[in-house]
Each structure stands twice: as structure tokens, then as C-alpha cells.
Amino acid sequence: MTSRHLPRPAISLVALVVVVALALLGPVLTAHAAARVAVSGSLDPDRASTVRVSGSGFQSVPKAFGGVYVFFGWVSDPSGGSWAPSRGGVSGDTYRYVPDAETAQNAGYQRFVAFPGSSTEAEANGGTLAANGTWSTNLVIPGARFKAADGGTVDCTAVQCGIITIGAHGVRNANNETFTPVRFAGSGSGSGGSSDGGGNDSGEAGGASGAGTADDAGAGGSGGTGSANGRDTTGDGTRDADDGDKRPTKASLGVDQATAVVGRVLSFGAQGLEPGEQVSVTLDDGLVAVGPLVAGNHGEVAGLLELPSDLRTGTHVLRLTAASSGTTIETELTVTRDPAEVSAAEAAAEAAGTAGGVAGAAGADGGAGTDASTWRPEEIAVGVAALLLLVVILSSLVTSLKRRADKRRAEREAAENEAAENEAAEHEASGESEANGEPSDGQPGAPHAEAQAPTPADREVRA
């Protein structure tokens, strides 16, 4: 049995594929493995506080869709990371956070840090993720107890709460998922805190560094946002004169865009309402509705709204109406299809788009091809590796077919040569037999008729 080996050109191409893949994918896989978050500021368990949150080591993808969400909340596995969306975590189950509107002028409970040059960069209320993976923003902490986006209540004096970062706009990115534990004043010590991307705590916010507590007048984080009880709303580091018991003056409504999927349950939240008042929430002009819901002690409310399975995708309007105050709030949301249902179609479309992008890049400007400048390094690496692998496969296939054809031709020529040699040997043997007066069958022949003796009849005729 003969062994088969790859041809030398194929071996060279395989080596080239490995080198190129390591060169291109190596930095992508290792450059963002140590995302960390640092928190500075004091947290009052009974009042809203503003802290400064800074990140480093995050994955920054230029011109990519989305970015990083920054929340305050609770996770089910603070030291492990199994809570994260990239590992199957679900909001309301493995992690909970304070709801807020996804707008530039929200109440400050939720921040969106955009990728540089992203199509969603204009929506960012937490700045832009720098090319070196750093970012910094202010975040409002409502207190030690809050109602989560899924409607559940979280008590941070009984469970560990902290700063959560995840991929924005439904894009799961394990490189940018972190949990940084924090403590409230009076529940522990420590000035500032930080955590790496798996949730391993290396400190907890809450000491003297950064912004002062609600009862202090010292300098704090740069610029508070929104209007909340007993905190700086002017950005000068001092407490407002007479806001000791004042709720936010402007009500706001927000949704968790990641849950805005056809056939799923939409998560929403609002604040700035009258404590204890009843509210109802409707989608579009009463297509679906939920309520009445009751606002909490701080004028906050959160709930869930089931989206119909036949709901059209695209932009919709969510409207909240308060009974006693007459407040009406609206916000727009974009409903999408279930990613699991369209993954195969997206994969096919992406493959077709890649081919169209290459063709479009070679054509005139303004063509319909995909913009290659938006490709990520890992996508380019995968494409190059796939092309080189295709070349290797084709080269091996052509070589194998050529070898098989050569083998068949050689066998056919050998058979023809052998037949020719046998035929020549037969002709040569036949010629020798005729020369010896033997028939071609090789049997001895009788004497020629002329050499035979005359018969009596022949004698009579001759006489």
C-alpha cells in the first residue's frame, strides 16, 4: 500500500495559511483579554450619587456597530462570569440593572460608550471608546435599592451590586463584559475600585476618593447629570440648595433595546413620576398594552411588554401614560427579528456581500458593494485564510487528478506494449514454421504431390 503525501506547493500554502492566520488573528485574540473598570466616588444608600467610571483594555472596533453599555446592577456570579450574555446570560435572570432611556439626555443611570466612527456614535451619552481601549464617563447610582429593568426589586445591602459592562445594541462581546463590585457608605471601606473582565474583584468603590456624598459640598466627579435627590446637578461639585426631597423634574422612559425582538418580551423602565401613581404603557396606538403599574417611592417604574409574533420589524413608539399626574412620555424603539431565525440567512448574505464588496471595490465609486473599510481585522484574517485554504484544496485536487490520469495512461501504454510484443512474437514464430515446410499449426506435412510414384492408371494413359 502506497502512502499519499501532499504536494510540495500544497505544503507551502498550508504553512502560509498558518503564518498569516497567526499574524492577523493573534493581536485580535490577545489584545483585549484584560478589560478592567475603575470606579471613584462615594455611594449613599438612601440617595442618588454620581460616580466616575473608567475602563481600560476594552476592545475598540473602528466603524463597527454598537459599543459598550455601562450599567449599575447585580449579577448572579460576581466572581465567575457565567452571568454574561456571551455565555448565555439573560437580563432579569443572571443580571439586573437600573433601567433608563437610550438617549443622550437620559437620567444618567445607563451610559452608552460607542465604537469610534460607529453609525451609532451620535447616540452615545458616555463618550467614545478610544483606539487604545480606554473610556471614562459619569454614572448615576439611584441608591442601595432599585427596581430593575425586568420589574424585579434589587436590594444592594443584601446582595452584591456593582458596575456592569456588556456589548451594546444586542451585540454580544465577551471581551467587553465586566462586573466591578461596589459598596455603599457605611457598608464597607475602600476608596475606588477596579475589576477585570471575569468579575474578579480587586477593590470596591465607596471611600473618600472622587465625588462627595449627598451631604457633602466638596468636589466630586466631573459634572453630575440629571436631577436627583441631594446631589450635584450643576456640574460644579456642590449640592443644589433646596433639592433635599426633590424627585427628577423631567420624567423619562427607556427600553432595553436588546429585548425588542419579535415574539419576545420587551423590557422598559421610567422615572420622574409621582410616587405611588398608576401608569399604563402601550405600543403604537394600543397594539399591545400593559398596566396599570404602580410607581415606586422614587417615582420609578419598570415592566415587561410581550411583543406579538406577527409584529412588523422597524421603528415603533412606546407610550407611557400616568393616571394622577397626567404625564405622557413617548420613546422610539427598533424591533428586530429573532437572531436565531435569521442567523443562516445573515451568514449567506454576508458571504454574498463579501463577494459583492470585492467586486464593488473594483468598480466605480458609489457602487453597491460592501465598504471594505468597515471590515474588522478578524474578518479580514478569516477571509484571507479561507482563500488560501481554498487554493490549497484546489491545488491538491488538481494534483491528485493529474496523478490519477498519469497512472491510467501509463497502465494503458503498458498494456498496449505488452499486446504488441505478444503479436510480434506470434508473427515471428509463424514465419519460422513456413520456412521449414511446416503448416502454421506446427504438424509435419506429407510429401509434395509431384514427388509421389505414378499409379497404374497413369501408366496406361502414358502408353
Confidence of residue 20 (pLDDT cuts 50, 70, 90): low
User: Could you give the residue range(s) of every CATH 2.60.40.230 domain in the chain?
Assistant: 34-243
User: For the segment 358-373, what is each residue's pLDDT rounded down to a tens digit?
Assistant: 455 444 444 434 444 4
Domain(s) labelled CATH 2.60.40.1930 in the chain stretch across 247-340
Spatial separation of the C-alpha atoms in residues 339 and 2, rounded to whole Å: 50
- Give 247-340's CATH code, choosing from 3.30.460.80, 2.60.40.1930, 3.40.50.300, 3.60.40.10: 2.60.40.1930
**DSSP-derived 3-state class of residue 391:** helix
Q: 444618567: which residue's cell? A: 108
* Residue 52: pLDDT band with limits 50, 70, 90: very high
Question: Does the pLDDT at position 315 exceed 70?
Answer: yes
Q: What integer pLDDT is reported at residue 134 of this predicted model?
A: 94
pLDDT digits over 122-180, tens only?
888 899 999 999 999 999 999 999 998 888 899 999 999 999 999 988 788 899 999 99
> How confident is the model over 200-215, as a mean pLDDT?
38
Give residue 373's pLDDT: 42
Question: How far is residue 214's CA from residue 48's CA, in Å, rounded to a whole number?
Answer: 8
Phi, psi (degrees; rounded to nearest 5) at 462: -65, -35
**Cell numbers that stand for 281 in this block:** 404603557
Residue pLDDT, tens place only, 108-125: 899 999 999 888 788 888
CATH of 34-243 given 2.130.10.10, 3.40.50.1980, 3.90.1150.10, 2.60.40.230: 2.60.40.230
Residue 278 neighbours by CB distance under 10 Å: 16
Cα(139)–Cα(97) distance, rounded to whole angstroms? Answer: 13
H or E, element range at 422: helix 377-435
Residue pLDDT, tens place only, 397-432: 888 888 888 998 899 889 888 888 888 888 888 777
240 has pLDDT over 70: no
Please provide residue 117's backbone torsions phi and psi, each rounded to the nearest 5 degrees: 75, 10
Q: What is the pTM of this model?
A: 0.43
In the prediction, which pLDDT does 185 show?
76
Of 81-90, 103-112, 207-216, the least confident: 207-216
Q: How far apart are CA 189 and CA 57, in angstroms?
A: 26
Question: What number is the average pLDDT over the span 226-247?
Answer: 39
Mean pLDDT, range 11-35, rounded to an integer? 56
Task: Round to whole Å and give the CA distance between 150 and 267.
Answer: 6
